[in-house]
Structure 1
Amino acid sequence: MTTYILKKGMIPFVIGLVVTVLPVFMACKKNTITTAEEVVVTPPVPEVKYVLDWADEFEGTTLNAANWTPEIGYNIGGNAEQENYQAANIAVADGHLQITAKKQQIGVSGYTSGRINSLNKKDFTYGKIEARMKLPRGQGLWPAFWMLGSNMRARGGEPGVGWPACGEIDILETINTEIWASAAAHWAKPDGTHISSGNKINTTPGEYHVYSVIWTKETIKWYIDDKFYNGLWIKDGKGSTSEFHLPFNIIFNLAVGGTWPGQVIDDTKLPAVMLVDYVRLYKEIK
C-alpha cells in the first residue's frame, strides 16, 4: 500500500485518486498553490469480498456424515502419538463438535481420542476458512485444526503422493500448557526434502478464539481473531509450493503425546475436550 504525502507548495497529481486538501490558499501574485499544513493521504485498500460457500455449525446430536469421516486407529499421524483414535470420542452436543481425549486402554494404547477429516466430502482450493474453538490444556495434549493435500492418499484411480509432497496447512496447533497458537505450512522440494515455514503468537488457548486462513493464488495468511500473524508467498509455485494450488481437506484432531508435546502425559487433566463452535469456508467474490 502506497502512502502519498502532500507537502506545502506541492500540487498533488494522483492518478485514479481524487484528493481534496483543505484549506487551500491561492497566492495569485506567484501563481502558486500552497497548503496550510502537511496532509497524509492513504489510498484505500481494495475491498475483498467473500461469500459463505460451506459450513458446519455442529447443530443437532450427531456428526454430519455428509461432511466428515472419523479416522480410526493408533498413531495415525505418524508422530509417535499415544492415542488410539475412536469414533466414540467424537460427539456433537450443545452446538459444538466435541473431541475428547481419555485415559483408556485399547490395544497397545493407553489413551483414546478423536480425529475427523473432510476428504472426498469437502475438498477445496483457495478461500477463507475459519473455526471458533476452545482448546484443552494439559501436559501431553496436542489439539489441531489443519489441512492436508487431498492427493496424499490414492483416490479416483490416482496414486497418492504421500507426505510432505501433498502439502500441509496448519491453521492452529498448540501443545501442553503453552500460551501460544502456532501456524505452519509443510511441503516438499523437488527431491522430496521436507520444508516448513511458520510462526507463533501468544494467546489464551483455553478461551474461545477464531482461527483462520486466507488462501489465495498468491499467498497463505494466518489470523487469530482477525489479527494477522503469519504469511507464505506461493504465487506461481514460488519455492516449490505448487502443491498449494491443488485441493485440500480439513482435519480436526486432539492428539495425546507425540514428538512435539513429548511423551509425558498428565493423566489428571483427562478426560480433556476440544470444542469447535463452527467451521466456515468462504469463497472470494470476483
Structure 2
Amino acid sequence: MTMTPTRRSLLIAGGAGAAAAALGLTRPAAAATWETVIDGSLASYPTLEAAWNHRYPWGSDHNGSARMYGSASDRNHVYLASPGVLTIKATRITWDEGNSSADPHLPIRYHSGAVHAKQHVLVNDQFPNWEVKGEFQAPSARGTWPAFWLTGADSWPPESDILEYKGDARNWFNTYRNASGGWSSTIVNVSNPGAWHGYRAWITKVNATDVDIHYYLDGSWVGRHRGANFVGHPMWIIINLQMEGSSGSPGPTTDTYYRARNLYVGRSRV
C-alpha cells in the first residue's frame, strides 16, 4: 500500500480513522502538522554534506570486513555519480590492514563507505509519527552486506533495519527489541535487488514506551513490528555497504556498488 502525500495528510489530520485503525497507526491530535526533515539531499555535494556525515557515527569499523572511508575531500568510496544518486563503492584490498576494531574483529579486506544523517529520528509526544524511505540498487552476491537502517544514538537497542541484504536476494526487515525482548524479522524475496526498489518504514508511537513500525517494499506493505522502548530514544539513520560477516565469505574480488536516490525523512509535529 503506497502512502501518498494526500493519504499521509489525511492520517496526520485525523481524517482517515478507519484506515489508520486498519493499519494499526495511532492518529496524532487534529492539530498535528506534517513536516519534511530530509529531502533533496543528494542534489549536489553541498546538499549532501549539509544533511549527512561520512562513515558510521562511531567511526570507520563495524561488524564486517570493510573499513569505511569517504569525506568532503575524499570521493573514492562515497560520491554522487550523477545528481540525485548516491554511490557507495567497496574495493578489495591486497595488503594487511589488521582487524576491525568492532566485534567480531574480522580482518579488514575491503575499503567501503557509509553515511549517517545529521538529523536523528526521535519518536516522542511532540513527534509521534515518522516516515523514512528511499530507493536503492543493492548488491546481493555472497559477501555483500548493504544496509539502510536506524540505530540508537545514545543506547542500543533500539534498531530498525529497513534494507539489509546478507549475501542473497532476500531483504531483512528487522526490529530490535520487540515486546518479547528479541528480534522481529520479516524476510522478503526480492526479484533482482540490483534494480531500483523502494524501501520504507512508517514509525508511529502507540503508548508511552513503544512504537509500531510498518515496513514497505515498492509501495506494498509487508509487515508490522512492535518496537519496545523506542520512544524517547534518538536514532541515527545510516546507509552503508559492509562486506562479508553475516553475508558470507569470501566476498567479491571486483568492485561492488550500492546506490541510493530519493531519500526522504518526514515527521508529524503535535
TM-score (norm 2): 0.71
Give the drift of 1:69.
1.6
2:86 to 80, 97, 100: 97
Q: 1:264 to 1:188 in 2, by over 3 A?
A: same
Q: Counterpart in 2 of 1:123? A: 120
2:154 to 132, 151, 157: 151
Q: Which whole-Å CA distance do the structure 2 matches of 1:102 and 1:137 have between them?
A: 16
Give the drift of 1:172.
0.7
Q: Counterpart in 1 of 2:66? A: 83
1:262 aligns with 2:251: no
Q: Counterpart in 1 of 2:139? A: 136
Q: Which whole-Å CA distance do the structure 2 matches of 1:45 and 1:280 have between them?
A: 23
Q: 1:246 to 1:56 in 2, by over 3 A?
A: farther
Give the drift of 1:68.
1.6
Q: Percent identity?
A: 21
1:71 maps to a residue whose letter is R
Q: 1:277 to 1:71 in 2, by over 3 A?
A: same
Q: Which whole-Å CA distance do the structure 1 matches of 2:261 and 2:85 have between them?
A: 5
What are the Cα deviations for residues 252-273 of structure 1, in whole angstroms up to 9, with x where unaligned?
A: 0001110x11232131xx2111
Tell me if structure 1 keeps the 8 A contact 2:41–2:47: no
Structure 2 runs not aligned, ≥5 long: 1-16, 22-26, 28-32, 71-75, 99-107, 123-128, 207-211
RMSD: 2.8
Q: Counterpart in 2 of 1:229? A: 222
TM-score (norm 1): 0.67
Structure 1 runs not aligned, ≥5 long: 1-42, 153-162, 235-240
Superposed, 1:14-93 pairs within 5 Å as 45=19, 50-61=34-45, 64-71=48-55, 76-77=61-62, 79=63, 81-87=64-70, 88-93=76-81
Give the drift of 1:122.
0.4
Q: Which whole-Å CA distance do the structure 2 matches of 1:107 and 1:127 have between them?
A: 40
Between the two proteins, the alignment pairs up a number of residues equal to 215
Q: Counterpart in 2 of 1:156? A: none
Give the drift of 1:51.
4.5
Q: Look up the SS of the partner of 1:123 in the other structure.
A: coil
Tell me if structure 2 keeps the 8 A contact 1:83–1:255: yes
Q: Which whole-Å CA distance do the structure 1 matches of 2:264 and 2:165 have between them?
A: 21
Q: 1:225 to 1:245 in 2, by over 3 A?
A: farther
Q: Counterpart in 2 of 1:217? A: 205
Q: Counterpart in 2 of 1:179? A: 169
Moved over 3 A (4+): 46-51, 72-75
Q: Look up the SS of the partner of 2:141 in the other structure.
A: coil
Larger Rg: 1
Q: 1:261 to 1:274 in 2, by over 3 A?
A: same
By percentage of residues, which structure has more helix?
A: 2
Tell me if structure 1 keeps the 8 A contact 2:178–2:226: no
Tell me if structure 2 keeps the 8 A contact 1:61–1:93: no
1:256 maps to a residue whose letter is M
Q: Which whole-Å CA distance do the structure 1 matches of 2:60 and 2:65 have between them?
A: 6
